[in-house]
Structure 1
Amino acid sequence: MARPSRAHERRAALVAAARRAVIERGVLDLRLRDVAEQAEMSSGAVLYYFPTLIDLLREVQREAVDRFCSAREAAVRDEPDPRRRLAAMVRSGLPTGPDDELCVLLYELGTIARRESSYAAEHIRLYERQVGIYTGILESGAATGAFTLTRDATTIARNLVALEDGYGLHIVMAVPTLDTARAARLLLAAAADATGCALHDLEGDR
């Protein structure tokens, strides 16, 4: 009887090892042997499962994007009040601090997007998926009368995601210029201006 293939397990282990290596070394200084050492494998064994380091990092990026967006979707899924859903969405997109592994990972991998079209495509998918969540919340709030939108929902959504990206980068920098709580207040203020709805006084806001 043929032995069951462990290729899926090995690939998953390599993705996890590459994720740790990116967090420790950063993308720009990352070498194939760094991943191999994390996985306790030879470089040749890594290349057996992923033809190049770029291929492996592409899988790391895809997994990180899905994990991040799924968490954001889960954060707002069961909240019926569009105001609270919007506030929860704002909070779910910011790093918890400079050591937020998933957000740091996404920022690191985003640096390759300027040079590699496949990474750019995944980065666009990350952006558009978040815009879609925001747009749904904004349209729902406008339909129920909770929001009076100053612009179309998609424009507001795109601006909020861009603000999140900018503030998030400031949070995870080597010398952070603001913390998560301050960034959340700034984003909630922008969302309030765009929706005509006070958001800072909702339960759980700071």
Structure 2
Amino acid sequence: MVRKSAQDRRVEVLNETLNQIQLLGMSAVRVADVAEAAGVSASLIIYHFRTKENLIAEALILATERDLSTLGRVVRDADTPIARLLGALSWYAPTGEARGWQIWIDAWSAAMRDRALAKVLGQLQERWIDAVAELIGEGVAAGDFHTDDPVGAASRLTALLDGLAVRYLVEFARPSHDDIRRWLIRQMAGELGVDEDALAAPRRA
């Protein structure tokens, strides 16, 4: 039997932390729950992560790293700036293929009473905004988008999808897939000076 490395075991613990957050909720999950599910001792988790708060923060960082890596693969095959940005935001949207919205909404709620967690989430959100802003900047350079504030546009576009995710997951006045796509395209058109028809059916090079 091959012995797992410390890094492999660490990733397993972080994966199980995400699973337990999704299953039990961030405020309810305990180090003991993660330890039992991961097949390790609670003392080992405390030794490596020191506190439950650090464990959760590291798990959220891992989730973000994975999502950003997946986002890179999503946009890699698109051959125009419009197609890349629309593909990225459609994937990011609650109706797309991105996973873990339940975890992030739970984290946002917990962060209202946990300033350390709020700081971590702010840093992770900045990474998402920067990734989207980079795609917008590429479109500006190509002459497809027209904005002098790619970061601001990225912030507002992701904020729209964040808010829609809350409504979509809790099923409060839940918008349809078509509604979300239509609202996203309308917001993109306004932010980036692009005709809605070009976004609804992005051309291929």
Structure 1 and Structure 2 fold alike (TM over 0.5): yes
Q: Equivalent residue for 2:126? A: 128
Identity %: 25
State how 1:85-100 maps to structure 2 within 5 Å.
85-96=84-95
- Regions of 4+ moved over 6 Å: none
Equivalents in 2 of 1:29, 1:78: separation in Å?
A: 40
Match of 1:58 in 2: 57
Separation (CA, whole Å) in 2 of partners of 1:100 and 1:24: 18
Distance 1:119 1:200, change over 3 A: same
Q: Would you say the 8 A contact 2:67–2:98 is kept in 1? A: no
Distance in 1, Cα, partners of 2:98 & 2:69: 16
Partner of 1:185: 182
Equivalent residue, structure 1, for 2:201: 201
Matched, 1:8 2:11: no
Displacement of 1:153 after TM fit? 2.1
Unaligned runs of 5+ in 1: none
State the match for 2:110 in structure 1.
Answer: 112
* Cα distance in structure 1, aligned partners of 2:33 and 2:171: 22
CA distance in 2, matches of 1:148, 1:9: 45
Alignment of structure 1 residues 72-91 onto 2, 5 Å:
72-91=71-90
1:108-150 Cα offsets, whole Å, 9 max, x none, are: 223333333442233122222222222222232233222233x
Question: 1:201 offset after TM fit, Å?
Answer: 2.6
Aligned to 2:150: 153
- Following the alignment from structure 1 to structure 2, what is the Cα–Cα distance between the partners of residues 47 and 130? 30
Output the TM-score relative to the length of structure 1. 0.82
CA distance in 2, matches of 1:23, 1:164: 20
Alpha-carbon distance change, 41 to 153 in structure 1, aligned in 2, over 3 angstroms = closer
CA distance in 2 between counterparts of 1:177 and 1:22 reads 23
**Contact 1:94 1:180 (C-alpha < 8 Å) held by counterparts:** no
Structure 2 gaps, min length 5: none
8 Å CA contact retained: 1:58, 1:119: yes
How far did 1:106 drift? 2.3
Change in CA separation of 1:77 and 1:202 when aligned onto 2, cut-off 3 Å: same
TM-score normalized by the length of structure 2: 0.82
